[in-house]
Structure 1
Amino acid sequence: MPAPLIWLGAACLGLYASNKANVAYLKHHDIVDAMPGESDQKSIPVNGSIVTCGIYGVLDHTGIWYENTIYELSGKGLVRCVSPERFLGNRSGTHIYVACKPNNKVLANCLAANRARKQLFTLLDYHLFDQNCHRFVAEMLVNHEVAVTSFSDLNTFLSEFFDVPIKWNRALVKK
């Protein structure tokens, strides 16, 4: 019985180490200015903002902000609209972060928000490492399929799409 726990621990350690290497790469290549939790700056999300929260310090979950709600692809493949509290629910993250320019101006795309709204209650073929929340966000931005599968991929995609390094500021959310 201890062997599966050891394997699980090794897998988590491998994910953690891989994540640290990815962050170093993203910063070195001016793709990311600050990862979630690294900036003391706070920003107010606007319609079409890209938001994220942490999942147990290893993974990230992303969505698109619209009128104080978040459009996300759930782990069951359902595109849904949730409150910020629900977005954080059942995850380890305690804060939502919003993608910004290095000068702290929030990055947003209203077309992405409108596309996400049109997808509400659509059931997609969800896969954690292929068709996931990061890919959903990227595809809402460009309105076609993209090869984004990880938070690292999404940061690279966002940096290219908005033509700036991405800075993740803590989101100021209305209660």
Structure 2
Amino acid sequence: MGIKDFFSNAVDAVTDTAKSATDAIKYNSVVEYAVMVAKEKAFDAEMKTIETIEKATVIVEKAGDDPAILLNSAKYILTGALSGSIAPTVVSKYIATHYVANGLNNLSMRVNPIPGSIVYCNLFLNTEHSGVYIGNNKIVHLNKHGNIESVTPQEFISGTPANAIYVSCNNGDPVGSEVVAERARKFISSRRDYNLFFDNCHQFSASCLTGDPENRLTILTMLKLQSDITLDAKQWLHWDRRNW
């Protein structure tokens, strides 16, 4: 083999090696890209499934005890969450069925409050109204006029779109405290300088939990956290309307 042939073969070998390496890199890149795209699509599908379930859960919760709306909402969750277009993966379907089963199970549970239970109902635009159950079918609450009064469940939701009241619970049972109920009773017929944001019904309900009338717990999330601390309330279940 002459020198010319030697160099020619060497160049060809290097070229072939380079081409193989380039193809391998391209192939690996394509595979990695495909895997990345597949993972992103799967993640998006999971998020869409969870988002769909969360939206439907809000609809069902606000539907309260209306059987027709409850049935339609449950059908919407099951049809949408389990369809191939919304939940194409086995994991998505598992998540969907888990959320649906858990959510509908909670919605189907009915309890009756005990003295000192915190109660609330849904109002307009993600707002809520709260109070303290004191027994004998009475709730003590701060109304929009600044009056602290004792009312029936029907009066509690009167003038609102609510048709359900939620009760502080744990493990399927209502939780309350006679100390909390007694604090609420002592406030009856008194007044506060009502303010939607700074001196509202949630602050009043929280004051019965903490004993501090000037607390800053003015939104439902804060009230629920304090209810967990004071009453060990980890669930909020429907008050059985048959006993209103």
TM-score (norm 2): 0.54
Say which structure, 1 or 2, has more relative contact order (CA 8 Å, 6+ apart).
Answer: 1
Q: CA deviation at 1:134?
A: 0.7
Q: Between 92-101 and 140-149, report the one with greater CA deviation.
A: 140-149
Aligned equivalents of 2:125, 2:195: Cα separation in 1:
20
Partner of 2:144: 75
Residues 177 and 231 of structure 2 are in contact (CA less than 8 Å); yes or no, is this contact kept in structure 1?
Answer: no
Alpha-carbon distance in 2 for matches of 1:154, 1:121: 22
Q: Which residue of 2 aligns with 1:13?
A: none
Q: 1:64·1:71 contact (CA, 8 Å) conserved in 2?
A: yes
CA distance in 2, matches of 1:39, 1:159: 20
Alignment check: 8 A CA contact 2:209 2:226 kept: no
Q: Does 1:90 align with 2:159?
A: yes
In structure 2, the residue matched to 1:132 is 200
Structure 2 CA distance, aligned partners of 1:100 and 1:62?
15
Contact (CA 8 Å) 1:45, 1:172: kept in 2 or not? no
Which residue is 1:41 aligned to?
109
C-alpha deviations, 1:97-146, integer Å up to 9, x for none?
10101x11211011111111111110111111111111111111121132
Aligned amino acid, residue 129 of structure 1: F
The structure where strand makes up a greater share of residues is 1
Alpha-carbon separation, structure 2, partners of 1:83 and 1:92: 16
Same amino acid, percent of matched pairs: 30
Q: How does 1:116-127 map to 2 (within 5 A)?
A: 116-127=184-195
User: Residue deviations 1:43-93, cap 9 Å, x none?
Assistant: 111111111111125111001112201100001110001111010100111
Detail structure 1 runs of 4+ shifted over 4 Å in the superposition: none
Distance 1:77 1:170, change over 3 A: same
Q: Is the 8 A contact 1:44 1:106 kept in 2?
A: yes
Unpaired runs of 5+ residues, structure 1, are 1-19, 24-33
Paired letter, 2:235: K
CA contact (8 A) 1:71 1:117 kept: yes
Residue 104 of structure 1 is matched in structure 2 by: 172
In structure 2, the residue matched to 1:147 is 216
> Paired residues, what number?
141
2: CA distance between counterparts of 1:142 and 1:56? 27
Q: Which residue number corresponds to residue 162 of structure 1?
A: 231
RMSD: 2.3
**Are the counterparts in 1 of residues 167 and 238 from structure 2 also a CA contact under 8 Å?**
yes
Matched residue, 1:17: none
Distance 1:105 1:57 in 2: 29
How far apart in 2 are the matches of 1:105 and 1:124? 32
Question: 1:161: how far off?
Answer: 2.3
Is 2:130 aligned against 1:62? yes
Shift of residue 38, structure 1, vs aligned partner: 5.7
Task: Looking at secondary structure, tell me which structure has more helix per residue.
Answer: 2
Query: Aligned partners of 1:81 and 1:146: how far apart in 2?
Result: 22
Distance 1:140 1:120, change over 3 A: same
Shift of 1:163: 4.0
